[in-house]
Amino acid sequence: MLKPTLASPALSKPQQARIISATGVPGDDREFLFTDQDFERIRKLIYERAGISLSPIKRDMVYSRVARRLRATGLRSFTEYLRLLEQGDPVEMEAFTNSLTTNLTSFFREEHHFPMLKEHLRPRMNKGAITIWCSASSTGEEPYSIAMTVAELYGGIPSDVKILASDLDTSVLDKARQGVYPLERVSKIPEAMLRKYFIHGSGTQEGVVLVRPELQAMLSFRQINLLDSSWPMRGPFDAIFCRNVMIYFDKPTQHGILEKFVPLLAEDGVLFAGHSESFHHADDLFKLRSKTVYELAEPAKKRACSAKRR
């Protein structure tokens, strides 16, 4: 025997149309109206600001993250919020960009790169200063992994190796500068390295670790937008890490960034890419040396040498 159920009040056709327009799903009742036009305006803004190409399947993620900014600013609609961004509010534009930047990272992620970095740097030891650029440093796990790899190679903290750690997202850069991590974030680091390069917190800081100041001194942190027409540093870098960030850019944007890497990379330098990234469309600039590790292609190498002579 079927139990009686309470019938939901029927929605009028205009109400149904409004919900479908907002979410694409009949009956999905969200806190804020979110239309196709809103999504397209957000796609345009984040592409112009950060080069990120948002696919339609990211719509729910975009709503969730940007809705937090509406609550934080006290605005009641995406229309109001997008008007604020389009009027050029610099503080909120930074917060908006930070909200849509993906920062998945971990210590020694894609671990095959770190022995390769050691072998690349070994012949350069005691031959002058070494510089490395980590161009998407997120909350710091990647540049600190690079620093530990260098320290292990040298048997101590070298004074002539410098690592530039940059990111577009200012909030994650602040976390990276602090160098404080919960124990679960460092659980895969060998115990000997953990004792050597981290300080365990106690008292109110129990359950976290702090990067030792001497290791942290190898790094400098700076906000850099890879889309900017020029970058505020000069090479040559012995190695550039640009891992798991190019996947968010379309091919023309990728090529433009790779083109700007060329004059900044040492003639025999290497570029480390992410496991799902391939630069075959830029074979005029880089050629594959090993698994997701690239070196300058001959035409680019000649151009770089010519530019340095000028």
Looking at residue 204, what is its pLDDT?
80
Q: Looking up tokens 């719509």, which residue turns up?
A: 59
Exactly one of 167, 169, 238, 243 is catalytic; which is it? Answer: 167
- Residue 73, judged by CB atoms within 10 A of its CB (0-12, 13-18, 19+), counts as middle
> Which neighbouring-strand residues pair with 131?
162
Exactly one of 30, 49, 65, 124 is catalytic; which is it? Answer: 65
Looking at residue 303, what is its pLDDT?
67
Active site annotation includes 250 = no
pLDDT digits (tens, 9 = 90+) for 116-174: 999 999 999 988 899 999 999 999 999 999 999 999 999 999 999 999 999 988 889 99
3-state secondary structure of 289: strand
Looking at residue 302, what is its pLDDT?
66
Helices 59-73, 90-100: inter-axial angle, 10-degree rounding: 140
CATH number of the domain at 113-309, out of 3.40.50.10300, 3.40.30.10, 3.40.50.150, 3.40.50.720? 3.40.50.150
Please say whether the structural domain 18-100 has been given the CATH code 1.20.1630.10. Answer: no
Please tell me if the domain spanning 18-100 has the same topology as the one spanning 113-309. no
pLDDT digits (tens, 9 = 90+) for 205-220: 889 999 999 999 999 9
Q: Distance between CA atoms of 183 and 207, rounded to whole angstroms? A: 6
Positions of the chain with pLDDT lower than 70, given as ranges: 1-29, 302-310
**CA distances for 210 relative to 175, 200, 258, angstroms:** 11, 6, 34
What is the pTM (predicted TM-score) of this model?
A: 0.77
Question: DSSP of 247-267, one letter per residue?
Answer: GGS-HHHHHHHHHHHGGGEEE
Alpha helices by DSSP H, listed for the chain, are 13-23, 36-50, 59-73, 78-86, 90-100, 113-121, 141-154, 170-178, 191-197, 213-216, 251-261, 298-309
**H or E, element range at 133:** strand 130-134
* Domain regions of the chain by residue span: 18-100, 113-309
Question: DSSP of 168-233, one letter per residue?
Answer: S-HHHHHHHHHTEEEGGGGTTS-HHHHHHHEEE--GGGTTEEEE-HHHHTTEEEEE--TTSSS-S-
Active site annotation includes 68 = no
